């Protein structure tokens, strides 16, 4: 169900937020990702990657479970090179 734990230990018990944070950092370091990063960083990346892949902001809102799209906008980050490319493509040039 919705309230079941997402992350569990080897004994089947729910992991607390500190242990989830440690796991994320351990695997990030193993992948060569500079830290510190936490589970919230993954949510931000998830939202940003969806938008960069062409997903609609409302779809991202639903996937993140946000009531307001304003909250979703906080999670998204604009890539400067993508911003420039869209500006070049969409803005009328003189």
Higher pLDDT, 78 or 65: 65
14: phi then psi, degrees, rounded to nearest 5: -65, 140
Instruction: Please indicate, yes or no, whether the overall pTM of this predicted structure exceeds 0.95.
Output: no
Query: Hey, where are the domains in the chain?
Result: 1-37, 39-94
Contacts of 7 (CB under 8 A, 6+ apart): 14, 15, 19, 20, 23
pLDDT in tens, 3-53: 788 889 999 999 999 999 999 999 999 999 887 888 888 888 899 899 888
């Amino acid at each position: 169900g919705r309230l079941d734990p997402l992350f569990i230990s080897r004994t089947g018990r729910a992991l607390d937020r500190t242990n989830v944070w440690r796991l994320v950092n351990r695997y990030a370091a193993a992948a060569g990702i500079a830290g510190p990063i936490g589970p919230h960083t993954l949510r931000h990346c998830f939202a940003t990657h969806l938008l960069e892949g062409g997903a609609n902001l409302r779809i991202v809102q639903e996937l993140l479970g946000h009531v307001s799209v304003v909250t979703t906008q906080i999670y998204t980050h604009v890539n400067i090179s993508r911003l420039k490319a869209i500006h070049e493509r969409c803005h009328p040039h003189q």
